[in-house]
Amino acid sequence: MIEPVYRADDHRYDGKMKYRRCGKSGIQLPEISLGLWHNFGGVDTFSNSKEMMHYAFDNGITHFDLANNYGPPYGSAEETFGQVMKTSFRPYRDELFISSKAGHDMWAGPYGEWGSRKYLIASLDQSLKRMNLDYVDIFYSHRYDPDTPLEETLQTLVDIVRQGKALYVGISKYPYEAAQFAYDYLNKRDIRCLLYQGRYNMFNREPETEGIIHQAKENGSGFIAFSPLAQGLLTDRYITGEIAEGTRIARGGYLKRDDLTQDVLDKMRKLAEVATQRGQTLAEMALAWLLKDDNVTSVIIGSSSVEQMKKNLKALENTSFTNEELVKIETILG
């Protein structure tokens, strides 16, 4: 049986998704972006991954966030995306905003991680081949390297743009002082840092408390949040305290059983009560809470199914909070 050719929904831009300007740039990103960190690797079912990407684009999600080592195995999320890019998404390339990153462990030996020129350029060349792309829209230094001179990392980003391999560059998880150095270095070379990507959610407020979000704005950059649901802690998945088969804690990985403390459970349950009063699920409210801040350009969600993505997109129906609700939430979070 021949698989039908994909055609994007003709109404994908008819108000389903809102877009926010990315700092002082011409780029607008959807309020919700799709991250391929989990559930798009070689161990996952390709048809499900493809269905999620199609559904995302049909609903106005134009930004797909990847990195060299997303999978597992490493590189396989980019390969999955590349298969869809080669077929379904090829006619829509100019409507898509695609990112990749390098900085974390990718291959063996001293040149397979961190921030050297050799690693960053080699990694991006490999990523472009895997994704069937001539260029990415944004390429990130995925983490600050305390040993490589920052000038080397940043000059590599400058050269990558000048070589046409990326249209924009960004930084991810950089500490405040290193981020400021990066903004200044890039600006002096007429290559603005388009985006700072940071872990940000109700349980992790570092970008807010350490001034990272404000710093990005002051330097004309956007801020994009990853892990907005704290790897599932800000959903109803673990709210009973039980760990169901197939969840991230059960599978083992970044989220550990030790993360599900009694204090976290108590906060989850109280936050869920506030969400119910708002007519939302805990996950919907957690996403809406991030988007209440105009300085947050976009929020990167993960997804394991179209049904889960549908639920997350419902957060866009109500991203405003009353003062009373905000006080309740702050009291719960302590």
Proportion of the chain above pLDDT 90, given as a percent: 89
**Residue 323 predicted with pLDDT over 90:** yes
Q: Amino acid letter at 73? A: P
Domain 19-333: assigned CATH number = 3.20.20.100
Residue 249: predicted pLDDT: 60
Least confident of 51-65, 74-88, 251-265: 251-265
The predicted model gives 89-98 an average pLDDT of: 98
Residue 243: predicted pLDDT: 65
The 3-state secondary structure of the chain reads CCCCCCCCCCCCCCCCCCEEECCCCCCEEECEEEECCCCCCCCCCHHHHHHHHHHHHHCCCCEEECCCCCCCCCCHHHHHHHHHHHCCCHHHHHHCEEEEEECCCCCCCCCCCCCCHHHHHHHHHHHHHHHCCCCEEEEEECCCCCCCCHHHHHHHHHHHHHCCCEEEEEEECCCHHHHHHHHHHHHHCCCCEEEEEEECECCECHHHHCCHHHHHHHCCCEEEEECCCHHHCCCCCCCCCCCCCCCHHHHCCCCCHHHCCHHHHHHHHHHHHHHHHCCCCHHHHHHHHHHCCCCCCEEEECCCCHHHHHHHHHHHHCCCCCHHHHHHHHHHHC
Residue 124: predicted pLDDT: 99
Q: How many CA atoms lie within 13 A of 48 on its CB side?
A: 16
Residue 174: predicted pLDDT: 98
Whether residue 167 contacts residue 137, with contact meaning beta carbons closer than 8 Å, is answered with yes
Residue 239: predicted pLDDT: 86
**Residue 1 predicted with pLDDT over 70:** no
pTM exceeding 0.85? yes
For residue 238, name the pLDDT band (cuts at 50, 70, 90).
confident
Cα(72)–Cα(76) distance, integer angstroms: 6
**Residue 121 predicted with pLDDT over 70:** yes
Cα(55)–Cα(310) distance, integer angstroms: 9
The predicted model gives 294-316 an average pLDDT of: 97
The predicted model gives 183-199 an average pLDDT of: 98
DSSP-assigned beta bridge partners for residue 111? none
Instruction: From 122, 131, 72, 76, select the one nearest 100 (Cα to Cα).
Output: 131
Residue 241: predicted pLDDT: 63
Q: Give the relative orientation of helices 262-277 and 282-291 as an angle to the nearest 10 degrees.
A: 80
Residue 141: predicted pLDDT: 99
Residues 239-282: tens digit of each pLDDT: 876 665 656 665 666 676 777 889 999 999 999 999 999 999 99
Query: Where do the domains of the chain lie?
Result: 19-333
Proportion of the chain above pLDDT 70, given as a percent: 94
Instruction: From 114, 123, 192, select the one nearest 150 (Cα to Cα).
Output: 114
Q: For residue 72, with 0-12 CB atoms within 10 Å meaning exposed, 13-18 middle and 19 or more buried, which class applies?
A: middle
Mean pLDDT of the chain: 95
